[in-house]
Structure 1
Amino acid sequence: MTEQPAPDVSGPRVLLMNPNSNKATTRTMCAIAARVLPGVTGWTAPAGPPLLTNPASLAEAGRLVAAAELREGLAGVIVSAFGDPGRDELAARLDIPVIGIGEAAARAAAQGGRTFAVVTHTPALETSIDALMHNAAPDARYLGTYLADGDPTELSADPKKLDAALLYAVRRACHDGAEAVIIGGGPLGEAADRLADHAPCVLVSPILHAALQLQAKLRLPKA
């Protein structure tokens, strides 16, 4: 099973697609998006790893997202992995807005001409992340990707270690001149919430900003 049942709520139906296979992560990400969007349902990749950590897994996730058979009646889709896997292909075959959290975060972070950076815990994806940031905000002052120290799977299993490693990287980025820092990863959505009051600069939550951008595209009233 991939797509979760729609909740009994009013408003446009929005699908949040989790390109990894962790259903608990899907529920967490849906809860973040639901702060600003009514009617969010979740889709979890039917195969692949529970955490996307390298280009091969990201590419395979993109194929699953692009080929997914979605229910009719959707108003919009959020692709909730930071590399936006499959977003372009899915958008090309649907006539509704399809928002990738990576692109949404880059645009939000660069608002007002801010210098920004990405902090994440997947070193093998650094090159693809940097390319996405440059493509999404080509005129922005982008400092690059700052990596949390540690194995991504082990960090993800220990929220305290994860938060400490991410916060250290955030502080390095801010010291280097970042005015905004993106916590780069759909599964890092809760960490972005936890660190928001501890960072020395603005933290950008990719899922929340993707939801806000979709809210604007659908012309929904602000929550």
Structure 2
Amino acid sequence: MKETHILVINPNTTASMTNKIAAAARAAAGPGTRITAINPLQGPAAIQGAADGAAALPGLNVLFDRTLETDQSISAVIIACFDDTGLFDLKARSPVPVVGIGEAAYHVASVAAPRFSVVTTLPVSVPVLEGNLQRVGLAPRCARVRASDVPVLELEDPNSDARQRIEAEIATALRMDGVGAIALGCAGMADLAADLTTRFQVPVIDGVASAVRFAEMVAK
């Protein structure tokens, strides 16, 4: 059987987050799938809203083009930012399938429950995610995009109370939004999904794992 080689690009420059994303992607991947995770060396350290997304595009585009030109074994690409930074432009010109972790999480959440909410990081990200939901046609299935007021890089700090704030926002969503699933709105939350699913007894969807499974299917 031919190996499926998935390139995972974290569009920000924080290597520790790329390592966390890589671990989540490898845990989700099936037999015969190889994961390569990379990030640009120049650009924002975190993507929080439209301005950071725009600032990340030059580094993302150069990295995408250079890697696909030099490695012909790549079967699919994942853009590992929940804002789906650059996703639709890359889809339009890529020789292989390109999947966004936000895009994938929305689709999985919409299958898991009739209605879902998204719990993301800062309020500045909410309009971007709402626009992406419109673009993929799933805005009517999303009750609300909620901000937990957690800066992205706090997810890399083991001494922060980021997890508690995310949990509090999930609890509010389940109490007020009438939803049966939650999509975690940041790649840096990937390692929380399994524990939060157990804690809240509803599907808590990680976009990284969701994107890996979609990428495996479309690559094959």
RMSD of aligned C-alpha atoms? 2.0
Residue 138 (1) aligns with residue 138 (2): yes
Give the AA of the match of 1:17: I
Residue 217 of structure 1: CA displacement? 1.0
Residue 66 of structure 1: CA displacement? 2.6
Alpha-carbon distance in 1 for matches of 2:58, 2:130: 21
8 Å Cα contact 1:171-1:200 kept in structure 2: no
Aligned to 2:106: 106
Which SS does the other structure have where 2:43 is aligned? coil
TM-score by length of 2: 0.87
Listed as ranges, the matches of 1:1-223 within 5 Å are 11-35=3-27, 36-37=29-30, 38-68=33-63, 69-70=66-67, 71-73=70-72, 74-111=74-111, 114-138=114-138, 140-154=140-154, 156-158=156-158, 161-175=161-175, 176-219=177-220
Which SS does the other structure have where 1:172 is aligned? helix
Distance 1:155 1:16, change over 3 A: closer
Alpha-carbon distance in 1 for matches of 2:95, 2:153: 36
Distance 1:212 1:154, change over 3 A: closer
Residue 210 of structure 1: CA displacement? 0.3
8 Å Cα contact 1:21-1:45 kept in structure 2: yes
Which SS does the other structure have where 1:51 is aligned? coil
Alpha-carbon distance in 2 for matches of 1:99, 1:194: 25
Worse-matched range after superposition: 158-167 or 178-187: 158-167
Alpha-carbon distance in 1 for matches of 2:112, 2:20: 30
Alpha-carbon distance in 2 for matches of 1:61, 1:199: 34
Greater RCO, 1 or 2 (C-alpha within 8 Å, sep 6+): 2
Alpha-carbon distance in 1 for matches of 2:113, 2:136: 14
| Unpaired runs of at least 5, structure 2 | none
Residue 18 of structure 1: CA displacement? 0.4
Give the AA of the match of 2:208: I
Alpha-carbon distance in 2 for matches of 1:78, 1:155: 21
> Residues 4-28 of structure 1, C-alpha deviation per residue, up to 9 Å, x if partnerless?
xxxxxx8222110001101121111
8 Å Cα contact 2:154-2:160 kept in structure 1: no
Give the AA of the match of 1:212: R
How many residue pairs end up in the alignment? 210
Identity of aligned residues (%): 22
8 Å Cα contact 1:174-1:201 kept in structure 2: no
| Unpaired runs of at least 5, structure 1 | 1-9
* Poorly superposed stretches of 4+, deviation over 6 Å: none
Alpha-carbon distance in 1 for matches of 2:207, 2:139: 19
Residue 189 of structure 1: CA displacement? 0.9
Distance 1:108 1:56, change over 3 A: same
